[in-house]
């Protein structure tokens, strides 16, 4: 086993298998970010005299080459190599000899994996934000398209009051605005630099932590070195809460859509390519894509609790327990991204039934409209309520299906422009361009 800590003690194969677990597999998610973190770290090391300018130039050339390998899918963690950190250092040592062994000065694998995780999370949050925004725009477009198409609203799964597809689509759009606020909070917590905290107690080298913060495009640093290490697990948990919030919105939307697509409702029609048939019932068109979306999003909503239980009651300092978090946390982004893409695809192609309320079984939902009409004409509300209730029981109720809602956020005044403005305000707060510019500059070949 090639690792960074071996002295004279060697593990058995079984203990190595148990302690490493799926770490090598999970570390492939982090490989490009480990390289970027190393590039920033060695650039800083040269400024404090731990590397010469020539050594830095050689290391940066090789690290840029290794980064390219991670982007082309050519980077592998070799058999017998413990993790991504060991693999990168091994590759540098093979290419540059003893120069490659100098890159670890002033850091530990503890802060190395912390910065890898934060760089990875930043990119993944950026992607999630884009996909949430796409779904948001699709929902608002459908809300506008079907703004005046009425449908029944429900409480207790009983028909209750008139609603509209403008409201239904728009409600999920506005829900995503609140979810985006969670993403913004997760982004701000993530976008702080832990590099330089070493094993959690700093270093006797005169590290320039602000320099690596700037080179990697972080907004600030995790200043206290002990807290930087305490952030391991906490960062993942807080990010997981933001993912779970989105997943909750999408799962509810998927449930509604499956219900409304059934023949007993017939409110919407899902795209045919997102349904499947039955092996014995030729008429079936099952909403499998949304059912799987619902299940996957429900699984994602368990992620914060899973992370909490792994890290629960750990004291300050690093513990190997935290390694296990990667196995559930890192793949979660791809799962949520798949669900968001599928949901946006279905929403774009979804069609609605414009004649739902022609069916007389929905006539009672207009009872509140009649109560309100009588109240406007001067009858006390409770008297109006009783009169309409008795008319319904006697079979004498004739609905007036003309809806006159005009207040903000109602059927006649969706406020979609204001909802869009709320989303735009949140999106403008991320300032993705700052970190993108820093990373682009870090990756750019130098004049040497």
373/378 Cα distance (integer angstroms): 9
Rounded percentage of the chain residues whose pLDDT exceeds 70: 94
> What pLDDT digit, counting tens, does each position of 236-291 carry?
999 999 999 999 999 999 999 999 999 999 999 998 887 776 667 767 678 889 99
Report, as an integer, the average pLDDT of 80-90: 91
Q: Is the pLDDT of residue 17 over 80?
A: no
The answer to whether the beta carbons of residues 48 and 205 sit under 8 Å apart is: yes
203/45 Cα distance (integer angstroms): 13
292 and 170 belong to one structural domain? yes
437 and 372 belong to one structural domain? no
What is the CATH number for 263? 1.20.200.10
> What pLDDT digit, counting tens, does each position of 330-352 carry?
999 999 999 999 999 999 999 99
153 and 59 belong to one structural domain? no
What is the CATH number for 45? 1.10.275.10
Domain boundary among 41, 71, 104: 104
77 and 175 belong to one structural domain? no
Question: Quick one: pLDDT band at residue 415, thresholds 50, 70, 90?
Answer: very high
Within a domain: residue 7?
Answer: no
136 and 282 belong to one structural domain? yes
Question: Quick one: pLDDT band at residue 19, thresholds 50, 70, 90?
Answer: low
Q: Is the pLDDT of residue 5 over 50?
A: no
Report, as an integer, the average pLDDT of 60-89: 94
154 and 97 belong to one structural domain? no
> What pLDDT digit, counting tens, does each position of 379-413 carry?
999 999 999 999 999 999 999 888 889 999 999 99
> What pLDDT digit, counting tens, does each position of 213-247 carry?
999 999 999 999 999 999 999 999 999 999 999 99
Question: Quick one: pLDDT band at residue 54, thresholds 50, 70, 90?
Answer: very high
308 and 427 belong to one structural domain? yes
> What pLDDT digit, counting tens, does each position of 118-136 carry?
999 999 999 999 999 999 9
Which H or E run includes 239? Answer: helix 225-261
The answer to whether the beta carbons of residues 277 and 224 sit under 8 Å apart is: no
Q: Among all chains, which residue has been given the structure tokens 């009872």?
A: 367
196 and 279 belong to one structural domain? yes
Question: What is the extent of the structural domain holding 56?
Answer: 13-104
Average per-residue pLDDT in the chain? 92
Give phi and psi for 322, each to the nearest 5: -65, -25
* 174-183, 401-410, 411-420: least confidently modelled range: 401-410
267/118 Cα distance (integer angstroms): 44
Phi-psi group of 217: left, alpha or beta (phi > 0 → left; psi -120 to 50 → alpha; rest → beta): left
Q: Which two tokens stand for residue 58?
A: 């050689």
Which H or E run includes 254? Answer: helix 225-261
147 and 293 belong to one structural domain? yes
Within a domain: residue 1?
Answer: no
pLDDT the model gives residue 282: 65
377 and 346 belong to one structural domain? no
Within a domain: residue 4?
Answer: no
Within a domain: residue 364?
Answer: yes
226/74 Cα distance (integer angstroms): 36
The answer to whether the beta carbons of residues 136 and 383 sit under 8 Å apart is: no
CA-nearest of 206, 231, 202, 205 to 218 is 231
User: For the chain, how many structural domains are there in total?
Assistant: 3
pLDDT the model gives residue 273: 86
Within a domain: residue 3?
Answer: no
Within a domain: residue 290?
Answer: yes
Report, as an integer, the average pLDDT of 4-20: 62
60 and 126 belong to one structural domain? no
The answer to whether the beta carbons of residues 185 and 238 sit under 8 Å apart is: yes
Within a domain: residue 223?
Answer: yes
Domain boundary among 104, 126, 142: 104
Q: Is the pLDDT of residue 24 over 80?
A: no
Within a domain: residue 388?
Answer: yes
Rounded percentage of the chain residues whose pLDDT exceeds 90: 81
Give phi and psi for 400, each to the nearest 5: -100, 110
Domain boundary among 43, 74, 104: 104
133 and 90 belong to one structural domain? no
Report, as an integer, the average pLDDT of 288-306: 95
């Amino acid at each position: 086993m090639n690792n960074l800590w071996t002295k004279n003690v060697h593990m058995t194969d079984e203990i190595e298998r148990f302690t490493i677990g799926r770490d090598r597999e999970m570390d492939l998610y982090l490989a490009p970010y480990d390289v970027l973190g190393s590039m920033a770290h060695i650039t800083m090391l040269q400024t404090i005299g731990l590397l010469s300018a020539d050594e830095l130039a050689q290391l940066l050339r090789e690290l840029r080459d290794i980064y390219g390998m991670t982007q082309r899918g050519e980077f592998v963690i070799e058999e017998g190599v413990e993790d991504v950190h060991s693999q990168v250092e091994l590759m540098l040592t093979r290419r540059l000899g003893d120069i490659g062994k100098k890159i670890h000065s002033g850091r530990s694998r503890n802060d190395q994996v912390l910065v890898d995780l934060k760089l990875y999370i930043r990119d993944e949050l950026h992607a999630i934000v884009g996909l949430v925004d796409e779904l948001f725009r699709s929902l608002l477009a459908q809300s506008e398209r079907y703004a005046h198409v009425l449908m029944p609203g429900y409480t207790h799964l009983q028909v209750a009051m008139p609603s509209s597809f403008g409201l239904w689509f728009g409600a999920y759009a506005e829900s995503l605005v609140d979810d985006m606020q969670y993403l913004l909070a997760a982004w701000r917590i993530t976008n702080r630099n832990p590099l330089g905290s070493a094993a959690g107690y700093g270093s006797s080298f005169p590290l320039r932590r602000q320099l690596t913060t700037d080179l990697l495009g972080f907004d600030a640093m995790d200043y206290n070195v002990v807290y930087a290490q305490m952030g391991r697990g906490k960062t993942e948990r807080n990010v997981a809460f933001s993912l779970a919030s989105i997943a909750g919105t999408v799962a509810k939307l998927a449930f509604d859509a499956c219900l409304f697509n059934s023949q007993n409702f017939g409110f919407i029609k899902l795209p045919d390519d997102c349904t499947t048939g039955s092996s014995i019932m030729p008429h079936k068109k099952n909403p499998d894509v949304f059912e799987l979306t619902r299940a996957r999003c429900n699984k994602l909503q368990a992620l914060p609790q899973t992370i909490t239980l792994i890290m629960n009651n750990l004291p300050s300092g690093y513990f190997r327990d935290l390694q296990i978090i990667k196995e559930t946390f890192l793949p979660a982004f791809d799962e949520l991204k798949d669900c968001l893409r599928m949901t946006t695809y279905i929403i774009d192609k979804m069609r609605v039934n414009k004649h739902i309320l022609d069916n007389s079984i929905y006539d009672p939902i207009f009872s509140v409209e009649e109560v309100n009409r009588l109240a406007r004409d001067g009858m006390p509300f409770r008297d109006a309520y009783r009169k309409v209730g008795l008319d319904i029981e006697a079979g004498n109720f004739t609905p007036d299906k003309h809806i006159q809602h005009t207040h903000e956020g109602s059927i006649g005044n969706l406020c979609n422009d204001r909802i869009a403005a709320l989303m735009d305000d949140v999106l403008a707060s991320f300032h993705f361009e700052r970190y993108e510019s820093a990373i682009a500059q870090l990756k750019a070949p130098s004049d040497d």
